Structure 1
Amino acid sequence: MGTARIAVVTSEAGMRWDTDLRLIVEALRDGGMTAEAVAWDTEALAWGRFDSVVIRSTWDYAERLGEFLDWVDATTRLTRLWNPASVVRWNSDKRYLLDLAERGVGVVPTRFMEPGAKCAEEDFRGAGGVVVKPAVSAGALDTARYEPARYLDAEKHACGLLDQGRVVMVQPYLRLVEEGERALVFLSGAFSHAIRKGPVLTEPGVIDNDRGPHPDVTPYAPTVEELGTAQAALAAVPSPEPPLFARVDLAMDDNRTPVVMELELIEPNLFLGAHPRGLERFVAAVKTETQKAVP
C-alpha cells in the first residue's frame, strides 16, 4: 500500500486564522500520511493527485456558494471528497432542517421565505421574539434576533434579504439558549466529544458579521436525550455512509427538550482541543477512510 496523500482544504482566511489547521496536517504526517493545507480556490491545482480531499476551513463558501459547489462537483470526479459532494450540497442550504423535521428529528421550528414572498407583520410577532437569517450563511452571517416589540425591525431585515434574492428563515428565539448551546462532534458516525458555548446573538436587533461564532467554549458531557437527538439528525443525512465529520448544534426549547439548531457537515469547527483524544480520533477517521482508496 502506498503512502496516502491528503489535502486539508481551507481558504485564505483559514490559512491565517484556523488554529487547528497546522495541528491536523502535522498529526496526519505523524500518522504516516503525506498531508498539506490547500485553499479550495487555488488555481490550476491537480486535485486528482490526492487520495483524499478533506474540507476543513473553507470559511468563505457561503459568500461564494456557486463557485464552491462547482469546485466540490469537479473535485469529487477526481478523488474522494470529505464530506461527499451530495452531502455538502444538501447541507449548504439550511432548508435541510425541513428534511430533518420530516424524518421526525426535533428541530427549532423554522419558516422559510422564498425570494418574491411578501413580508407581513404577523410573520414576525413571536411571543419571545424571533431570529432572522439567510438560509445560506455561516458564522451567523447577516443574522440577528429581535425582541417581540421590535417585530417591524425583524420584518425590515427579512425584506432586505429577500430583495437581495436570498431565502430567509424565521425562527422563534429560544430563551434557554442563553444557558449555552451544545455542540456534539461525530467522526465516521461515532460520537467523539462535545462542548458547550455561550450564546452568539447577545444583543437584540444587531447584525454583527464580525462577532465571534464560538464564545466561552467549555468541554461538555451531553445527556442521553441530547445524544439521541444528535444521532437522529445524523441518521437523516441523505448518504449511504456516515459523514467523516459532523457537528450537531443543539439548544433547549421551552420544555427543556433538545432541538437541532444546525447540522454542520461542511467546515465546522470540531473543537479538537476540547478533548484529549479529539485530534487523534479525527486523524484515525481520515486514515481509515483514505486507506479504502489507496491501492
Structure 2
Amino acid sequence: MSVARVAVVTSGAGVEHDVDLPLIVDALRADGLSAEPVVWNTASVTWERFDLAVIRSAWDYVERLDEFLTWADATAGVTRLWNPASVVRWNSDKHYLGELARRGVSVVPTRFLEPGRGITPADFDGADGVVVKPAVSAGALDTARYEPGRHANAARHARMLLDRGRSVMVQPYLPRVDEGERALVFVGGAFSHAIRKDPLLTEPGVIDNNLVPHLGVAPYRPTEPEIGTAVAALATVPSPVAPLFARVDLVLGNAGEPVVLELELIEPNLFLQTDPEGLGRFVEAVAARAGAAH
C-alpha cells in the first residue's frame, strides 16, 4: 500500500519564519506519511499528486486575497483541502463577526463601515477609545487604536482604508486587553491547548505594520467560560464537519467576560512548539484525514 502524501501549505515568509512548519513536517513523516512544505502560489506544483493539502502558514494571503481564494477553490477541486475552501472564504473577511453576534456569541462589539458610504464622528465614539482596522487583515496590518476624543485621527485612518475600497471595522478599545489575549487552539473540533500573549496595540494613534504579532507567549489554562465561548464561536462555522484546526482569540470585556476577538481558520499560528501533546493531536488529525483520502 502506498504512503499518503500531504502538502503542508505555506508561503515564502512561512518557509523562513514559521517555527511550527518543520515540527509538523517531521512529525508527519515520523507517523509514516509523505509530507513536504509547499508554497501555495508556486506555479509548477501539481496539487493532484497530494492526497491532502493542509494550509498552515500562507501568511501573504491577505495581500492577494482574490488569487488565494481562486487557488483554494482550484486546489479543493483536485485534492482534499483543509480547512475547506468554503470555510477559508467565509473566514477571510471579518464580517463573520456580525454573524457570530447575531447567533448569540459574545464578540467584541463591531461597527462595519463600507466604501461609498459616509462616516460621522459618532462612528468612532468609545469610552476608552476605539480600534480601527480593515475587515480583511491579519497580524494587525493597517490597524491602530485611538484614545477617547481622537475622532478626527480615527476617521482619517478609516477614510484611508475606505478610499482604497476596503471595508473597515471600528471596535471599542477594551482596557482589560492589557491582561493579555487568550488564544484557544482546537484540533478536529476538540479543545487542544491554549496560550496567553501580550497585547499588540500598546501605542495609541500609530499604524505599525512591522509589529511582531505574538509577544510574551506563555501556556495558559482557559476558564470554563472561555472554553464555552470558543465552542459557541466554532459552532457558527458553515461546515458540516469540524475544522481540522481552529484558533479562537479571546479578550476580557469590561465585566471580565470572555469575548471573541477573532476566529482563525485559515493560517493561524497554532503554537505547537509550546505544547508537544498539541503537536501530536494535530498530526493524528491530519493522518486520519489523509488516510480517509488515500
Q: TM-score, normalised by structure 2?
A: 0.99
How much has 1:161 moved relative to structure 2? 0.3
How much has 1:37 moved relative to structure 2? 0.3
- CA distance in structure 2 between the aligned counterparts of 1:238 and 1:284, rounded to whole angstroms: 24
How much has 1:290 moved relative to structure 2? 1.3
Give per-residue Cα distances to partners, 1:187-218, cap 9 Å, x unaligned.
00010000000001010101011101111000
Task: Specify the alignment match of 1:60 in structure 2.
Answer: 60
State the one-letter code of the partner of 1:149: G
State the one-letter code of the partner of 2:12: E
- CA distance in structure 2 between the aligned counterparts of 1:285 and 1:208, rounded to whole angstroms: 36
Task: Specify the alignment match of 2:201 in structure 1.
Answer: 201
- CA distance in structure 2 between the aligned counterparts of 1:121 and 1:277, rounded to whole angstroms: 49
Task: Specify the alignment match of 2:159 in structure 1.
Answer: 159
Correspondence 1:4-19 to 2 at 5 A: 4-19=4-19
SS, match of residue 277 in structure 1 = helix
- CA distance in structure 2 between the aligned counterparts of 1:250 and 1:231, rounded to whole angstroms: 12
Task: Specify the alignment match of 1:264 in structure 2.
Answer: 264
Q: Structure 1 residue runs of 4+, over 2 Å off?
A: none
SS, match of residue 182 in structure 2 = strand
- CA distance in structure 2 between the aligned counterparts of 1:124 and 1:155, rounded to whole angstroms: 7
Give per-residue Cα distances to partners, 1:214-266, cap 9 Å, x unaligned.
11000000000000000000111000000000000000110111000000000
- CA distance in structure 2 between the aligned counterparts of 1:157 and 1:186, rounded to whole angstroms: 34
State the one-letter code of the partner of 2:209: N
State the one-letter code of the partner of 1:238: P
1:100 aligned to 2:116? no
- CA distance in structure 2 between the aligned counterparts of 1:56 and 1:243, rounded to whole angstroms: 13
- CA distance in structure 1 between the aligned counterparts of 2:114 and 2:120, rounded to whole angstroms: 14
- CA distance in structure 2 between the aligned counterparts of 1:263 and 1:243, rounded to whole angstroms: 12
Q: Identical aligned pairs, as a percentage? A: 67
SS, match of residue 164 in structure 1 = coil
Preserved CA contact (<8 Å) 2:226 2:258: yes
- CA distance in structure 2 between the aligned counterparts of 1:200 and 1:133, rounded to whole angstroms: 13
- CA distance in structure 2 between the aligned counterparts of 1:2 and 1:117, rounded to whole angstroms: 57
State the one-letter code of the partner of 1:133: K
Structure 1 residue ranges without an equivalent (≥5): none
- CA distance in structure 2 between the aligned counterparts of 1:5 and 1:202, rounded to whole angstroms: 43
Correspondence 1:96-175 to 2 at 5 A: 96-175=96-175
Preserved CA contact (<8 Å) 2:19 2:273: no
State the one-letter code of the partner of 1:48: E
1:90 aligned to 2:85? no
Task: Specify the alignment match of 2:75 in structure 1.
Answer: 75
How much has 1:89 moved relative to structure 2? 0.2
Task: Specify the alignment match of 1:247 in structure 2.
Answer: 247
How much has 1:58 moved relative to structure 2? 0.4
Q: TM-score, normalised by structure 1?
A: 0.98
- CA distance in structure 2 between the aligned counterparts of 1:265 and 1:276, rounded to whole angstroms: 21
State the one-letter code of the partner of 1:129: G
1:27 aligned to 2:30? no
Most deviating of 75-84 and 285-294: 285-294
- CA distance in structure 2 between the aligned counterparts of 1:250 and 1:156, rounded to whole angstroms: 28
- CA distance in structure 2 between the aligned counterparts of 1:186 and 1:19, rounded to whole angstroms: 19
How much has 1:149 moved relative to structure 2? 2.5
Most deviating of 117-126 and 260-269: 117-126
- CA distance in structure 2 between the aligned counterparts of 1:6 and 1:229, rounded to whole angstroms: 32
Give per-residue Cα distances to partners, 1:113-159, cap 9 Å, x unaligned.
11111121111121110000000001000000000021210010001
- CA distance in structure 2 between the aligned counterparts of 1:276 and 1:62, rounded to whole angstroms: 29
SS, match of residue 153 in structure 2 = helix
1:188 aligned to 2:175? no
